């Protein structure tokens, strides 16, 4: 019997083995699919804008669309998806976002830079030699979220400062980073984002640095080819990864994808484009309608943002008795009216671009994923046709990104990127039921809609507890920091820090109502105290709002919760 008694060490070994095995068992065992052939039957096929086949069949084999049409023979090995009266579209293409890109861990450098005028390039946000393909992960939640809306392809960009690196076009699926990549080095990604506390710390610094690097790169490139043609007697060119990254742009083999949300960003990007002459793609344009002539003159391609300002809430009119209006009411009314007009302009942007004949796709870079279908419907209500919206989601971006031979329509031979919805995609009640990415099926169960609990109202109570990192946009650049909030048995307490000072300040009058969070903090300086008021709306693990700094005005503030450690 003695051999059955194990020493404690042996027991430990067994225990470890068991733990390891059970851990493995919990992971989904990756089996090769039984078949890679699918037949989607009895479905309304929207092959592309204005190209429809009623009640047809789509056959997919080995990741490729094999056949599209009516009365097709179903292959014996096919999984049949009875999509009776459903709609199938080509998977949507997101022109610019960070879906599937792993966010680098932000370690705010609290050290005071010794010589802020001469930072390391990386500290200044200058890393154009980086490649987004090195930071992809198909398991990122952003991939799943976009895919659930019918997006199957995206041009993604790296995180960083003014020159984060090169973009890639990826499939929103797969099990490894390499599976995702459709095309590397699709754009040279740029932003007008300034560095923090080091040069270039303002937009004027960024624009100057951009010009200088571009011209230095042109100069280096010219000298390199001179050297290559005959090396004798010439000084060896210096190898510079940063300048080399510009070469494909200078040769116009790769366009510059420039983030350009606001009208002044668009203008600044076009200013640089005019001077330097690169091919430009404007990314996530939110406010471009007054720049259309310039956009056309610059021959710029455009990805319009799928983010829209919140729609005006319809107020219930229960003021039966006409109260005498105070002057302030009249003022408020006219201010609200202008706000509503402004919102209408944002919503109509796509339609205005369409009418002006500017080709555009869409980008999800800053859009809240869950708002995207509704925002598309708002754009359609504002004058865009469904076909035009579909083109901007499929065929146009496919052409713009140079992948029109592979994706963008439901045609024989194309990559099997498909989205199947139970009603027309742009119908308010439509639900995505199936998505194919590279011929891999993702199913979506339709949940019964729960009726909102009348007691709790519609607004979910947000949870402000925890550590939040934030960014505020001031006219002089961005400032970041951390807000910590703690629930002390019903009442909240917390602190805020800023990257500018490193100081930690107590928060006052923290109020949480529904998903709104407001607080203020005193800033003691020079013998006087200034009150800074912050008003935020929490949406899950993100917030957005404004920071009002006395007479300086108010500035947008956004942030996200840091995971608990």
| Cα–Cα nearest to 280, from 300, 294, 305 | 300
Q: Which residue, 202 or 427, is less far from another protein as judged by CB?
A: 202
Helix%, strand%, coil% for the chain, nearest 5: 25, 30, 40
**In this chain, which of 380, 463, 549, 560 binds another protein, going by CB under 8 A?**
549
Q: Is 54 in the site for another protein (CB under 8 A)?
A: no
- Binders of another protein among residues 294 to 323 (CB under 8 A) are 294, 309-310
Q: Which pair of tokens denotes residue 186? A: 């699709």
Q: Which lies closer to another protein via its Cβ, residue 354 or residue 499? A: 499
32 phi, psi to nearest 5 deg: -65, 140
Closer to another protein by Cβ: residue 346 or 426 = 346
| Torsional sign, CA 82, 86, 91, 96 | negative
105-144 residues in contact with another protein (CB under 8 A) are 112-118
Rounded Cα distance, 267 and 476, in Å: 18
Strands 188-190 and 256-259: parallel
Cβ-count burial 422-443 (b if 16+ within 10 Å, e if not): beebbeeebebbbbbbbbbbbe
Residues 174-233 that bind another protein (CB under 8 A): 197-205, 207-208, 211-212, 215-216, 219, 223, 226, 230, 233
Give, to the nearest 10 degrees, the angle between helix 386-393 and helix 372-381: 140
Selected from 11, 16, 18, 552, the binder of another protein by CB under 8 A is 552
From the list 290, 387, 504, 506, which residue makes contact with another protein (rule: CB under 8 A)?
290
Rounded (10°) CA dihedral 61, 64, 66, 70? 100
Min dist CB 119 to another protein, Å, is 8
Return the closest-CA partner of residue 90 out of 347, 399, 360.
Answer: 399
Site for another protein in 239-278 (CB under 8 A): 263-264, 267-268, 271, 274
Q: Note whether 279 binds another protein by CB under 8 A.
A: no
Residue 324 near another protein by CB under 8 A: no
* Residues from 492 through 531 that contact another protein (CB under 8 A): 498, 500-501, 503, 523, 525-531
Scan residues 419-478 and list those touching another protein (CB under 8 A).
Answer: 472, 474-478
Position 85 contacts another protein (CB under 8 A): no
Cβ partners under 8 Å of residue 101, min gap 6: 132, 135, 136, 137, 140, 142, 156, 157, 158, 159
Residue 21 or 330: which CB sits closer to another protein?
A: 330
Instruction: Report the length, in residues, of the chain.
Output: 565
Binders in 334-353 for another protein, by CB under 8 A: 334-336, 338-339, 341-343, 346
Binding to another protein in span 358-397, by CB under 8 A = none
> 399, 465, 520, 535: which one contacts another protein (CB under 8 A)?
535
Least distance (Å) between residue 159 CB and another protein: 21
Instruction: With CB under 8 A as the rule, give the number of residues binding another protein.
Output: 83
Angle between helices 327-355 and 372-381 (to 10 degrees): 90
Residue (6 or 338) nearer to another protein, CB: 338
- Residues 205 and 199 sit within 8 Å (Cβ to Cβ): yes
């Amino acid at each position: 019997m003695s051999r059955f008694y194990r020493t404690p060490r042996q027991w430990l070994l067994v225990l470890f083995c068991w733990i390891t095995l059970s851990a493995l068992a919990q992971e989904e065992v990756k089996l090769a699919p039984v078949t890679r052939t699918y037949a989607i039957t009895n479905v309304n096929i929207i092959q592309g804008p204005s190209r429809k086949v009623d009640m047809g069949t789509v056959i997919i084999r080995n990741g490729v669309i094999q056949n599209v049409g009516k009365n097709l023979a179903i292959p014996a090995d096919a999984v049949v998806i009875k999509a009776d009266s459903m709609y199938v579209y080509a998977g949507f293409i997101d022109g610019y976002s960070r879906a599937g890109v792993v966010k680098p861990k932000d370690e705010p450098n609290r050290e005071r830079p010794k010589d802020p005028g001469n930072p390391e390039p990386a500290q200044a946000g200058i890393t154009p030699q980086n490649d987004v393909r090195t930071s992809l992960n198909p398991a990122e939640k952003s991939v799943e979220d976009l895919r659930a809306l019918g997006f199957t392809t995206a041009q993604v960009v790296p995180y960083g400062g003014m020159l984060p690196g090169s973009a890639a076009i990826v499939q929103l699926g797969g099990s490894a980073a390499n599976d995702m990549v459709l095309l590397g080095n699709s754009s040279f990604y740029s932003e007008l984002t300034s560095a923090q506390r080091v040069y270039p710390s303002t937009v004027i610094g960024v624009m100057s640095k951009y010009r200088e690097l571009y011209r230095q790169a042109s100069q280096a490139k010219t000298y390199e080819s001179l050297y290559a043609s005959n090396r004798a007697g010439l000084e060896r060119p210096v190898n510079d990864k940063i300048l080399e990254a510009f070469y494909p742009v200078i040769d116009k083999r790769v366009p510059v994808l420039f983030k350009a949300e606001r009208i002044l960003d668009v203008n600044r990007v076009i200013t640089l484009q005019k001077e330097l002459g690169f091919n430009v793609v404007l990314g996530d344009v939110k406010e471009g309608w007054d720049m259309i002539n310039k956009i056309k003159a610059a021959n710029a391609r455009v990805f319009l943002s799928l983010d829209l300002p919140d729609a005006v809430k319809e107020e219930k009119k229960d003021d039966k008795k006409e109260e005498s209006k105070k002057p302030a009411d009249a003022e408020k009314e006219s201010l609200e009216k202008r706000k509503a007009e402004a919102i209408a302009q944002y919503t109509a942007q796509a339609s205005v671009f369409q009418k002006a004949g500017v080709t555009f796709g869409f980008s999800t870079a800053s859009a809240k994923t869950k708002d995207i279908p509704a925002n598309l419907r708002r754009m359609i209500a504002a004058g865009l046709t469904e076909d035009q919206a579909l083109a901007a989601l499929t065929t146009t971006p496919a052409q713009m990104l140079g992948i029109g031979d592979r994706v963008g329509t439901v045609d024989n031979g194309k990559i099997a990127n498909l989205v199947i919805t139970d009603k027309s995609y742009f119908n308010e009640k439509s639900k995505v039921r199936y998505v194919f990415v590279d011929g891999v099926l993702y199913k979506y169960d339709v949940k019964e809609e729960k009726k909102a609990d009348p007691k709790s109202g519609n607004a979910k109570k947000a949870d402000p507890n925890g550590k939040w990192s934030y960014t505020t946009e001031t006219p002089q650049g961005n400032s970041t920091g951390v807000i910590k909030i703690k629930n002390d048995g019903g009442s909240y307490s917390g602190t805020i820090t800023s990257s500018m000072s490193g100081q930690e300040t107590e928060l006052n009058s923290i109020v949480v109502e529904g998903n709104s969070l407001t607080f203020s903090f005193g800033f003691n300086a020079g013998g006087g105290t200034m009150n800074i008021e912050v008003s935020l709306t929490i949406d899950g693990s993100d917030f957005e709002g404004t920071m009002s700094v006395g007479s300086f005005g108010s500035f947008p503030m956004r942030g996200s919760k840091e995971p608990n450690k």
